[in-house]
Amino acid sequence: MNWIIYTAACLVLFGFMQFFIKLSSTGNNPVASSMIFVTAQFLVQIFLGAYFVSKGDLNMDFGSIKFGIAGGIVAAIGTILYFLALESGPLSKVVPVANMSLIVGVLLGVIFLREAMNIRIVAGIGFAIISIYLLTNGS
């Protein structure tokens, strides 16, 4: 399977995830809801991860482990903050703003991984910023 199929599936699943997080956060304790979310995610990830690992070999170096731990810590903090944002903010505004994380990811890739930056990427970032303005302003 190539990356575009995985990405399209991720897009749909993350869309549903955001909807379920909003339902879980509204009228409840969003931090407790985030703990339930992460627990469910952990269990599914362990089982699916074990399946995919069993199809290949478990080849990991210290760097992969170190960055995996760092990513998990950052994701945990971000998840709690996301639940808190969705507790009081509208899904239609919180989701687009939170997903501007793509700019952070692109810039980190360009700066630290030396990935290519071209006019199309710059234009895409510009259009993303314009879309956030259009999605979050007005009624």
Same structural domain, 115 and 53:
no
What's the domain range around 117? 100-139
For the chain, the average pLDDT equals 90
CA–CA dist 134, 139 (Å, integer): 10
Which residues have C-beta within 8 Å of that of residue 86, sequence separation ≥ 6? Answer: 18, 21, 22, 25, 26, 30, 94
Q: Looking at the domain assignment, is residue 34 inside a domain?
A: yes
Q: Looking at the domain assignment, is residue 20 inside a domain?
A: yes
Is residue 86 within 8 A of residue 27, CB to CB? The reply is: no
Same structural domain, 72 and 35:
yes
Same structural domain, 59 and 16:
yes
Same structural domain, 29 and 71:
yes
Same structural domain, 63 and 12:
yes
Same structural domain, 71 and 107:
no
In this predicted structure, what is the pLDDT of residue 72? 93
Which residues does the chain have with pLDDT short of 70?
1, 138-139
CA neighbor of 98 nearest in space, from 119, 116, 114, 83 = 83
Stated as kind and residue range, the H or E segment containing 85 is helix 62-88
Same structural domain, 75 and 123:
no
In this predicted structure, what is the pLDDT of residue 90? 92
In this predicted structure, what is the pLDDT of residue 123? 95
Stated as kind and residue range, the H or E segment containing 94 is helix 91-98
In this predicted structure, what is the pLDDT of residue 37? 94
Same structural domain, 34 and 77:
yes
Is residue 94 within 8 A of residue 86, CB to CB? The reply is: yes
Q: Looking at the domain assignment, is residue 94 inside a domain?
A: no
In this predicted structure, what is the pLDDT of residue 9? 92
Same structural domain, 51 and 118:
no
In this predicted structure, what is the pLDDT of residue 1? 62
How many distinct structural domains can be found in the chain?
A: 2
Same structural domain, 12 and 71:
yes
Same structural domain, 65 and 105:
no
CA–CA dist 18, 39 (Å, integer): 16
Same structural domain, 62 and 105:
no
